[in-house]
């Protein structure tokens, strides 16, 4: 089944291949993530050169105009399609920092960014507002994302910019949107604006390709276009290119199914781990890699792009073991975990149990860490390696 953008002929530019219970919800989710990625690309290009737009959070991480703007945009669209009174959205950002007296200029920038983005909604097969949103409406949209989730009902889970450090540095990041039904992840969408459609373009010299792409006109599936991956439970996982500024290309039939790698020999496998050392132990994962016989250089990328890499076969293993006191949040894993599973992979905690997204904003009851693998063989070996190594670790 292929969605044609409903009654909007422009919607055919970004077909969503779906066939399942949540077809409509996934269709809207993919399109709003496409729209959000377009917003992020524009903000990131300016942000790299204008560091005054970066604000420090109390936890010393970074938040940008894009965080609030994406959250407002996604919240507004979901509310328009599914009803603002009944919708439940779990997301990271709140409105407190934007309502301070000294944040007037920042709020004005967010409002302007949101309106510019929503003015292009029709080009992504979505309904836009009849008139520009005011500050109060933007704040209301952001503030609407105050749900704690839980085991009952339907909850949307959003990470507006996952991998903020990667975003600020012009590197990898993701827009992640998932939906929970009765505590279970039933659909997930990952927008990866800097993750190229082709693996061959993913290398440590990506900045060279970025420079070269600016010297010539965009070409079909050019490296910088990025991609969006998506899935719903019980169906396949899919990938489509980002809708770029140059709309001369037809995106019909460009969505393709993705599958995890068939590699099950640790010596041939590539493993991913977080770039940041603040909330994960590189030394422990390095020890596990050595004990399993992993020999290839680890792929260290920001954000849920690690999940994307495994889902389409660019890597085979992702493992994260948080340092004491750090609690994993559901928006950092929900979308990516489902996409890997529907692409044929396995995602559990380090004890081999499925991740539990029904306990609120945190992955409560997590056994030591998170493990994602391309298949059962590697997963079994990694679980064994964790048990064999854990007692000697300092985590």
Q: Is 159 annotated as a binding residue?
A: yes
HEC secondary structure over the chain: CECCCCCCHHHHHCCCECCCCCHHHHHHHHHHHHHHHHHHHHHHHHHCCCHHHCEECCCCCEECHHHHHHHHHHHHHHHHHHCCCCCCEEECCCCHHHCCHHHHHHHHHHHHHHHHHHCCHHHHCCCCCCCCCCHHHHHHHHHCCECCCCCCCEEEEEEEEECHHHHHCCCCCEEEEEEEECCEEEEEEEEECCCCCCHHHCCCCHHHHHHHHHHCCCCCCCHHHCEEEEEECCCCEEEEECCCCCCCCCCCCCCEEECCCCCCCHHHCCEEECCCCCCCCHHHHHHHHHHHCCCCCCEECCCCHHHHHHHCCCCCEEEECCCCCCCCEHHHCHHHHHHHHHCCCEEEECCCCCCCCCCCCECCCCCCCEEEECCHHHHHHHHHHHHHHHCCCCC
Q: Is 108 annotated as a binding residue?
A: no
Q: Is 25 annotated as a binding residue?
A: no
Q: Which residues are catalytic?
A: 67, 164
Q: Is 171 annotated as a binding residue?
A: no
Binding residue positions: 92, 159, 162, 332
Binding residue positions for Mg(2+): 92, 159, 162, 332
């Amino acid at each position: 089944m292929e969605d044609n953008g409903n009654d909007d002929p422009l919607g055919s530019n970004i077909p969503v291949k779906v066939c399942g219970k949540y077809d409509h919800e996934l269709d809207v989710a993919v399109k709003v993530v496409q729209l959000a990625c377009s917003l992020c690309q524009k903000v990131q290009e300016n942000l790299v050169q204008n560091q005054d737009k970066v604000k420090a959070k109390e936890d010393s991480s970074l938040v940008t105009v894009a965080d609030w703007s994406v959250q407002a945009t996604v919240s507004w669209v979901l509310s328009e399609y599914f009803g603002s009174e009944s919708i439940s959205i779990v997301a990271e950002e709140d409105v407190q920092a934007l309502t301070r007296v000294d944040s007037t200029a920042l709020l004005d920038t967010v409002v302007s960014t949101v309106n510019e983005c929503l003015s292009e909604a029709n080009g992504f097969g979505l309904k836009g507002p009849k008139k520009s949103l005011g500050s109060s409406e933007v704040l209301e949209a952001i503030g609407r994302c105050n749900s704690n989730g839980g085991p009952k009902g339907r909850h949307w889970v959003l990470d507006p910019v996952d991998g903020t450090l990667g975003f600020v540095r012009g590197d990898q990041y993701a827009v992640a949107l998932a939906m929970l039904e009765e505590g279970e992840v039933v659909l997930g969408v990952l927008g990866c604006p800097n993750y190229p459609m082709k693996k061959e373009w993913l290398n440590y010299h990506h900045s060279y390709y970025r420079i070269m792409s600016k010297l010539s006109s965009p070409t079909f599936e050019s490296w910088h276009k990025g991609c969006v991956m998506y899935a719903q439970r019980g169906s396949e996982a899919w990938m489509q290119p980002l809708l770029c500024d140059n709309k001369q290309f037809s995106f019909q039939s460009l969505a393709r199914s993705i599958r995890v790698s068939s590699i099950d020999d640790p010596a041939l496998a590539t493993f991913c781990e977080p770039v940041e050392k603040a909330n994960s132990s590189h030394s422990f994962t390095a020890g596990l890699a050595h004990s399993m016989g992993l020999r290839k250089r680890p792929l260290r990328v920001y954000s849920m792009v690690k999940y994307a890499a495994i889902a389409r076969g660019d890597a085979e293993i992702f493992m994260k073991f948080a340092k004491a006191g750090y609690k994993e949040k559901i928006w950092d894993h929900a979308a990516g975990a489902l996409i890997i599973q529907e692409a044929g992979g396995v995602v559990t905690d380090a004890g081999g149990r499925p991740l539990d997204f029904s306990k609120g904003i945190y992955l409560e009851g997590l056994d030591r860490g998170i493990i994602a693998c391309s298949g059962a063989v590697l997963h079994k070996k990694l679980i064994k390696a964790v048990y064999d190594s854990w007692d000697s670790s300092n985590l």
